[in-house]
Structure 1
């Protein structure tokens, strides 16, 4: 189990993580989500003992990471897929980690096989692609057969087959009773992989819930509206509604249902060619939840 209790991190006058509490339980895949700058990486670094909290605590199996006599057997982590010596082979990179914990060569060979790297185990990692580097990082995270696994953007750089492999791997780890915490920007993948979500924004907890509940809480979803007078319709929509242009004459409207949009258009003599309700998705629910927590927002072109 991974637990954060009133976790806070400040750098000078800037507070990156604010009084953050959550629990990641065994047997589930927990997605750790938030916009860029939300404090996700800092939180993970505090969980893994790489950054000291300004306040609060972060524990794995009831202890801080540094207090575990053999931490690789308690929590395996991937924070940076390129954190290896470029001159080493994949095999020797893993063996160098194994020696620190008395892990046998057979375990190194096993994780190379699990991650599909057996055939390139003798190659120097400086020639690895980003996807191969990700696989090597995951192999290192699994090396100690840990009770908990923490992965930051594990599918970054992987092809579709690799993405599906990671999805299957995470689910199988959770099915074995392990604690799995994974950070990702791919909402579609989190919708397929995660059982539970912890969402933060500007360092604060925004949601600690299931995927299904977060989507349900998002409400009616969005409505695709096609009209030759879409620009005028946009100006007439009430303040709670938000719009995004999906193409010439087509708007995606959130915060207002299809009947309300139809009545508004009829009242102002606006011709509608299509009015298509769409169920809420995890991506939309996430965008709605974190809308006020986005640090960098682009303007429309």
Structure 2
């Protein structure tokens, strides 16, 4: 379990993390989301004792990370996959960590096999692709068979097979009763993997809720309808709280009404429906809506760039 209480970090005049309080519980995959510059990496570094909080506390399994006598057995982490000597083989990198932490050679063999590096473990890490480097980083995180796993952007550089493998790995770790805390900018994958979300913006907590509640509480369902008379149907559906847009091919996208309401309106107008489907707000859409005012680095609009 990870527990942060009023966790704050300041770098000079820059307030990177501002009074964060949250708990990451075992048995579920908890996603850690926020725009670039939100303070996610700083928070993870404080959890792992790499940065000292300006104020507040954070503990892992009841103690600060640095107070654990065998921290690699308590917490496995991936913050920067490339933090490996490039001239050392993947196997020797893991073996050195194992020897210094009282971990058997057989465990090195196990994690090398588990992450799919058995055929490449004797190669120098400096020659690894980004995806292979990520697998080595995950192997390092798993080496001590820890109760808590913290992964920062573990999907970077992985192909489709690798992404599916990480997805299954995270679920298996949670099912085994471990604490799993993972950040990613790949919203589609986070939607498939995480059961709980902690969302921050400008260093502050803005959501701590289940995935289902987060998505359900943001935005409205969108209805796609195709009919024999889209213009007449659009006119019939117009209302102050309803948005209707023409998608071409006789299709309309309607926000603010349910499929039942659209169907009844069409029936009352004598308009035949050819298609009527609903789509729930996605995690990406819900995230963008929630963090719109917390984005620190915003690109110029397309229109502005083109002018």
- The TM-score range, normalised by the shorter chain, is 0.7 to 0.9
CA contact (8 A) 1:258 1:276 kept: no
Tell me the SS of whatever aligns to 2:206.
Answer: strand
Tell me the SS of whatever aligns to 1:149.
Answer: strand
Please list, as runs of the form range in 1=range in 2, the aligned pairs for 1:182-261 lying within 5 A after superposition.
182-222=182-222, 256-257=256-257
Instruction: Give the equivalent residue in structure 2 for 1:284.
Output: 285
Tell me the SS of whatever aligns to 1:84.
Answer: coil
Cα distance change of structure 1 residues 7 and 225 upon mapping to structure 2, 3 Å threshold: farther
Instruction: Give the equivalent residue in structure 2 for 1:159.
Output: 159
Distance apart, 1:121 and its partner CA: 1.1
Instruction: Give the equivalent residue in structure 2 for 1:10.
Output: 10
Unpaired stretches in structure 2, ≥5 consecutive residues = 232-237, 263-274
Verify: 1:114 aligned to 2:151, yes or no.
Answer: no
Instruction: Give the equivalent residue in structure 1 for 2:127.
Output: 127
Tell me the alpha carbon deviations over residues 81-137 of structure 1, each in whole angstroms, 9 at most, x when there is no partner.
101000000100001111221111000000000001111111111110000000000
Cα distance change of structure 1 residues 121 and 275 upon mapping to structure 2, 3 Å threshold: same
Cα distance change of structure 1 residues 297 and 223 upon mapping to structure 2, 3 Å threshold: farther
* RMSD between superposed Cα atoms in Å: 2.9
Instruction: Give the equivalent residue in structure 2 for 1:268.
Output: none
Question: Following the alignment from structure 1 to structure 2, what is the Cα–Cα distance between the partners of residues 62 and 202?
Answer: 27
Distance apart, 1:160 and its partner CA: 0.3
The TM-score normalised by the length of structure 1 is: 0.84
Please list, as runs of the form range in 1=range in 2, the aligned pairs for 1:7-156 lying within 5 A after superposition.
7-156=7-156
Question: Following the alignment from structure 2 to structure 1, what is the Cα–Cα distance between the partners of residues 42 and 243?
Answer: 31
Question: Following the alignment from structure 2 to structure 1, what is the Cα–Cα distance between the partners of residues 185 and 245?
Answer: 20
CA contact (8 A) 2:242 2:257 kept: no
* Equivalent residue pairs, number: 281
Question: Following the alignment from structure 2 to structure 1, what is the Cα–Cα distance between the partners of residues 219 and 82?
Answer: 41
The TM-score normalised by the length of structure 2 is: 0.83
Distance apart, 1:237 and its partner CA: 11
CA contact (8 A) 2:17 2:42 kept: yes
Question: Following the alignment from structure 1 to structure 2, what is the Cα–Cα distance between the partners of residues 246 and 99?
Answer: 62
Cα distance change of structure 1 residues 122 and 209 upon mapping to structure 2, 3 Å threshold: same
Unpaired stretches in structure 1, ≥5 consecutive residues = 230-235, 262-273
Tell me the alpha carbon deviations over residues 52-107 of structure 1, each in whole angstroms, 9 at most, x when there is no partner.
00010111011111110110000000000101000000100001111221111000
Question: Following the alignment from structure 2 to structure 1, what is the Cα–Cα distance between the partners of residues 34 and 245?
Answer: 21
Cα distance change of structure 1 residues 23 and 241 upon mapping to structure 2, 3 Å threshold: farther
Verify: 1:300 aligned to 2:302, yes or no.
Answer: yes
CA contact (8 A) 1:39 1:203 kept: yes
